[in-house]
């Protein structure tokens, strides 16, 4: 189904572009502008934007994956150090 009549972009093109971008960079924020750019086009009238966004939202790979567990583990290691008061920002203690 053609989503953007100005450029001839179809729902299949949008889904393929979203999947390709997610594989290329798992943490990227995917926007309509990036999809237009990846497909070699620019938005013209913008009349397709509601349907364009709905098509993007139906893609399972649109969302950025949640925080990897390794980052959470580092944060948990820092909590005891902060509670003991040994952590400071490096500012001098006197005047």
Contacting residues toward ligand FES, per CB under 6 A: 4-7, 43-48
Contact 14, 21 (CB under 8 A): no
Specify the residue, 46 or 68, whose C-beta has the smaller distance to ligand FES: 46
H or E stretch at 4:
strand 2-4
**What is the closest distance, in whole angstroms, from the C-beta atom of residue 74 to ligand FES in the complex?**
44
10 and 2 in contact (C-beta within 8 Å)? Answer: yes
Give the nearer residue to ligand FES in terms of CB position, either 19 or 32.
32
Least distance (Å) from ligand FES to the CB of residue 49? Answer: 7
- Return all residues near 43 (Cβ < 8 A) that are at least 6 apart: 4, 6, 7, 32, 33, 36, 49
- Closest contact distance (angstroms) between CB of 34 and ligand FES is 15
- Name the residue nearer to ligand FES (CB basis): 31 or 81: 31
């Amino acid at each position: 189904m053609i989503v953007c009549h100005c450029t001839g972009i179809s729902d299949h093109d949008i889904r393929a572009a979203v999947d390709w971008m997610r594989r290329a960079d798992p943490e990227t924020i995917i926007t309509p502008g990036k999809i237009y750019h990846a497909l070699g086009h620019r938005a013209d009238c913008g009349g397709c934007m509601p349907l364009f966004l709905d098509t993007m939202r139906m893609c399972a790979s649109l969302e950025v994956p949640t925080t990897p567990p390794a980052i959470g583990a580092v944060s948990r290691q820092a909590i005891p150090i902060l509670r003991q008061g040994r952590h400071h920002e490096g500012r001098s203690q006197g005047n």
